[in-house]
Structure formats: structure tokens, C-alpha cells
Amino acid sequence: NIVMTQSPKSMSISVGDRVTMNCKASQNVGNNIAWYQQKPGQSPKLLIYYASNRYTGVPDRFTGGGYGTDFTLTINSVQAEDAAFYYCQRIYNSPFTFGSGTKLEIK
Amino acid sequence: EVQLVESGGGLVQPGRSLKLSCAASGFTFSNYGMAWVRQAPTKGLEWVATISYDGSSTYYRDSVKGRFTISRDNAKSTLYLQMDSLRSEDTATYYCARAVWDYGSYVGFDYWGQGVMVTVSS
């Protein structure tokens, strides 16, 4: 089965900075990756699908990229409300495996 | 407004069974695939199972195959997860989620319930 590895495990960023987090698939998954945001005490929210397609209503400061095995989620001009865990997920083919997550803290 | 409300969680002994339900409203339930995703305390998300819009296709993670059964009742707009032979490692909050379908498969989960806690312990 494909393993999704996210890095770093955590990061601390100031408001207004740009941040990039990574997701690596153990096998080529094409562009079949989704990204989610989960704030403390809340359910996850879909941000990105097909690696770079922003879901409805997601602010354009969230940008996804990558293809094959290496993927990124970039947040431009981070806001305080972006403090959360971020998870990548393999989509399109089962198993729909999640990565272990990256915790984003705001200084 | 799309709403997904899970129920049926609780404390159960290892080896016993539990059935979760997810009542859906605010959309045409029979048009969408659905999924269960779990999250152990302080851990990350773990996909459990997915079912097609009509129930004809089901998919499971390896660790629950043969123990868990996902099903749906489109007339009642309700999703189910029958969990048998429960283990301590099944302890988690279980979320139901609506699946986004595009060009032949599922490309994400766009609406999630608030989750229901399942604790497997003697």
C-alpha cells in the first residue's frame, strides 16, 4: 500500500509569512492528492483536490502543487486563523490513505 | 445546509460489536458516495471505508476488512458502520463524510460530521 509522508511535523510561523509544507507518496500517484485543514476541536475541511484545485470557498492564499510523488501546500500571507493541522490524502484509488499531518502554529 | 450527524458511539468491550449511524440532510443523499474516517485521541486522520452512491461498491482499509461493514439506506438518508470483533486500536472518534465524485472516482471528502467517540476497553 502507498504510504503518505508529511514534513515537517510542526512549524511555527508569523502572521504575514509564507509557509510551505510537504507530502511525499511512496509511489507515483499522479495528481491524485487532496489537502485538508483541521482546527482544534473541529472536523476537517477540504482545501485542495487533484493536487492543485482549490475547493469551493477556499481562500486563494492556499495553493497546492506537485505531481507524481512530491507535493506541496503553500499558504501565502498566513493569517492567525490558519493555525491548524494539515493533512494530505491519496485520492481516486483505494486505499484513500492520509498522511500523518503537519501542525502549523502561529507565533 | 448540508448536515451529517453521527450517533451510536460509546464504550464497548474488546471482541464485541457496535453500529454507528450517520443521518444526512440538506442534499440528495442517494447521489453521493459516503465514507467513514476515524481519528484516535491525539492522532491523525485514518480512512476507514467508502461506499458508492447506490451501495454497490465498498472499499475498506486492510485493518478493518472482515470486521467492519459499511452500508447505507438511501430511503432514510442514513449511512452505517457495523463494527464487529472490536479491538483496543479501534478506539477513536469516527467521522462520516460526503465523498466528491469526479471522472470515475472519489477525489476528496467535502462535508464532515462532528464525529462520535468509540472506546474499546475492558
Render pLDDT for A26-48 as a digit per residue (tens, 0 to 9): 999 999 999 999 999 999 999 99
Q: How many residues does chain B have?
A: 122
> What's the grid cell of residue A1?
500500500
Q: Over the stretch A44-97, which tens digit does the pLDDT of each residue have?
A: 999 999 999 999 999 999 999 999 999 999 999 999 999 999 999 999 889 999
CB contact under 8 A, A96 and B113: no
CA distance A31 to B121: 40
* Residue B105 in this model has a pLDDT that exceeds 90: no
The CA radius of gyration of chain A, in Å to the nearest whole number, is 13
Closest Cα to residue A84, out of A39, A41, A35, A36? A39
Task: Output the average pLDDT for chain B.
Answer: 96
CA distance B92 to B88: 9
Q: In one letter, which amino acid is B44? A: G
Closest chain A C-alpha to B31 CA, distance in angstroms: 18
Instruction: With cut-offs at 50, 70 and 90, classify the pLDDT of residue B121.
Output: very high
Instruction: With cut-offs at 50, 70 and 90, classify the pLDDT of residue B106.
Output: confident
Closest chain B C-alpha to A74 CA, distance in angstroms: 19
B100 Cα distance to chain centroid = 15
What is the pLDDT, as a whole number, of residue A87?
98
**Which residue, among B22, B32, B37, B45, would best test binding to A if mutated, counting the most A CBs under 10 Å from its CB?**
B45
Closest chain B C-alpha to A24 CA, distance in angstroms: 16
Cis omega (within 30 of 0) for bond into B41: no
CA distance A58 to A79: 13
Instruction: With cut-offs at 50, 70 and 90, classify the pLDDT of residue B103.
Output: confident
Closest CB from B35, B45, B102 relative to A87: B45
What is the pLDDT, as a whole number, of residue A92?
87
Instruction: With cut-offs at 50, 70 and 90, classify the pLDDT of residue B102.
Output: confident
CA distance A96 to A1: 10
Using CB atoms and an 8 Å cut-off, which of residues 37-56 of chain B contact chain A? Answer: 37, 44-47, 50
**Which residue's entry shows cell 442517494?**
B30
Closest CB from B47, B109, B110 relative to A95: B47
What is the pLDDT, as a whole number, of residue A48?
97
Beta strands at A53-54 and B18-25: parallel, antiparallel or unpaired: unpaired
Share of chain A above pLDDT 70, in %: 100
Cis omega (within 30 of 0) for bond into A59: no
Q: Over the stretch B19-66, which tens digit does the pLDDT of each residue have?
A: 999 999 999 999 999 999 999 999 999 999 999 999 999 999 999 999
Instruction: With cut-offs at 50, 70 and 90, classify the pLDDT of residue B87.
Output: very high
> What's the grid cell of residue B38?
476515524
Decide if B35 touches A, using CB distance below 8 A. Answer: yes
Share of chain B above pLDDT 90, in %: 93
What is the pLDDT, as a whole number, of residue A102?
98
Closest Cα to residue B22, out of B60, B103, B79, B70? B79
Q: How far is CA A15 from CA A21, A32, A46, A62, A79, in A?
A: 16, 30, 22, 14, 5
**Which residue, among B27, B109, B111, B117, would best test binding to A if mutated, counting the most A CBs under 10 Å from its CB?**
B109
Closest chain A C-alpha to B112 CA, distance in angstroms: 6
> What's the grid cell of residue B7?
450517533
